[in-house]
A and B are shown apart, each in its own frame.
Chain A
């Protein structure tokens, strides 16, 4: 069976490895803070060492899983352009491949949170007249995000079709 999520052109353009680091920061830091806080509180208020140990073990397990997940998440994203459409794929367990014709693009958003900016990446979202499109590419290097946005806007205007 041919791979459902194979690239439509030669290969997928992959996103920046920095996305992996950013994901690890935004998911693992809160989990560690929560786990550590809970462990300290439990130790002080309840004082059952095994309960505290359980919390620590669960937290560490979660951290390990998130660590591994971030890498797979980063590796899952890909995008490709051909003459008429932009293809975006992504997702670890629930995978998705969406194709957006340039002529259907209404507008393109580039967003970057503070942590994203610190690592020089941004998220590009393509909007058509349908909210089902939901074509988002996270973790693009800032330059590439801008290039993509400009190119999409340009192509969208050139190919723009009426509804």
Chain B
């Protein structure tokens, strides 16, 4: 593709090096394009071996001997290796004045480009195959929803982190992505030097807590009991044809829970870097994500019933630009899988400076709201301090949702026919889609209106005082 067609963000200074870091080191690469690490060719070989095995499963099942198995595995290795080498030979990446470009493909050439001004986040991930070879993948998320990702497969871990630093630095220099509040935190530190600053450890999740906490989850216990009951029924009646349809939902659920909460969250480590809070986690593949602190829209503190004895909490987070409730590689919705109250407080302070979620004063709901929530109404409450709006809900899993005033999108009051009869109303403080929902049902109607109006005032004041750092940074374009 001709360089002339590049969407230059600022034609007058096309090659202005604004980062001040590593420019010299990268200069040659900027001219001719660099290759990824040679070992990249072999990261996915196991997929081909697997495919060869699946493809010849019938033959293998008929007669399984060492020779046949060796042929299948060898075939997989050769095809996978050749494919990998060709792919590696044809892949080059370029980092120039305005974009990261990855060109790949032998017959069909693909050119994926990440202009700096569209970069939303840069993550380093280590899928299992890459991890074994000591490699890492660099993932660049762009503004513009699903599928707008450029991945660089694979680099050494150190290179990946260095490159990540450079890209983040340049994206910031172009100025569009939201500022993390580092500037506010540490005005003395020059931006360029920030990349190399050591990261400060904020939290390290105790593996023992993680395992015990997962075992003490209601859904896991239900799944395990279901599995045992099914096994008992099958054992007693001897009707083995029931095994698959009955066992699958329970056992599958147990598997999903263990995979999602133990394997994926294993060794969670939160560090505070210059660009926000870094989360590293995962037992098999390590995933590293950055939560840009300035883009945190809200936090939820959860306390499941079986954890209450130890006071453990789980933290969920809403980050602008990553919609969806589920944890995926690029969307960290679990901030802290499990931790003590003190740890939870520390982490909340880290993402929402000056907010202590659990000590914000709240007011209870009127007694007549019990008609809608006979048990839960005692637990429900709403409150605010000078920084954030909070709601408390849930009598099985205690939950506190926190939205900083500055991040309030809009506020609504609503009332159904039965609520009108009882003089009750709902208040909802809207946040971008994510796990945090700051809404309170069945408040006293007059009070609901006061709370909503007060929230609008608080949000306005917070926006105004925030303006200095936020002006000109509109994300989600």
Contacts and interface: CB of A to CB of B under 8 A. Distances in A.
Contact of A96 (B179, B412, B420): B412
Interface of B is mostly: mixed
A163 B178 contact: yes
Contacts of A4: 413, 415, 425, 445-446, 448-449
Contacts of A160: 474
Given A4-B448, A163-B320, A101 B410 contact: yes
A78 B432 CA distance: 25
A103 B408 CA distance: 11
A133 B466 CA distance: 22
A95 B415 contact: yes
Contact of A161 (B415, B431, B448, B470): B470
A125 to B, nearest CB: 13
Contacts of A132: 409-410, 412, 428, 430-431
Contacts of B460: 84-85, 101
B412 A162 contact: no
Interface in B355-414: 406-414
Interface in A107-163: 128-133, 135, 159-163
A132 B407 CA distance: 14
A95 B412 CA distance: 10
A155 to B, nearest CB: 13
B423 interface: yes
Given A128-B430, A160-B474, A161-B467, A101 B446 contact: no
A84 B464 CA distance: 11
B463 interface: yes
A100 B414 CA distance: 15
A94 interface: yes
Interface in B126-158: none
A99 B427 CA distance: 11
A128 B409 contact: yes
Nearest to B297: A163
A98 B417 CA distance: 18
Interface in A53-102: 84-85, 91, 93-101
A110 to B, nearest CB: 19
A8 interface: yes
B178 to A, nearest CB: 6
Nearest to B179: A162
Contact of A101 (B294, B416, B445, B456): B456
Nearest to A82: B456
Interface residues of B, number: 47
B452 interface: yes
B413 A163 contact: no
A163 B432 contact: yes
Contacts of B449: 2, 4, 97
Interface in A27-56: none
A1 interface: yes
Given A5-B415, A100-B410, A161-B470, 17 more contacts: A4-B413, A4-B449, A85-B456, A85-B460, A94-B417, A97-B412, A97-B414, A100-B409, A132-B430, A133-B410, A135-B410, A161-B406, A161-B463, A162-B466, A162-B469, A162-B472, A162-B473
Interface of B: 178-179, 294-295, 297, 320-321, 406-417, 420, 423, 425, 428, 430-433, 445-446, 448-449, 452-453, 456, 459-460, 463, 466-467, 469-476
20 contacts: A2-B449, A84-B456, A100-B409, A101-B456, A101-B463, A106-B476, A128-B409, A128-B430, A129-B476, A130-B410, A132-B430, A133-B430, A161-B463, A162-B294, A162-B466, A162-B469, A162-B471, A162-B472, A162-B474, A163-B474
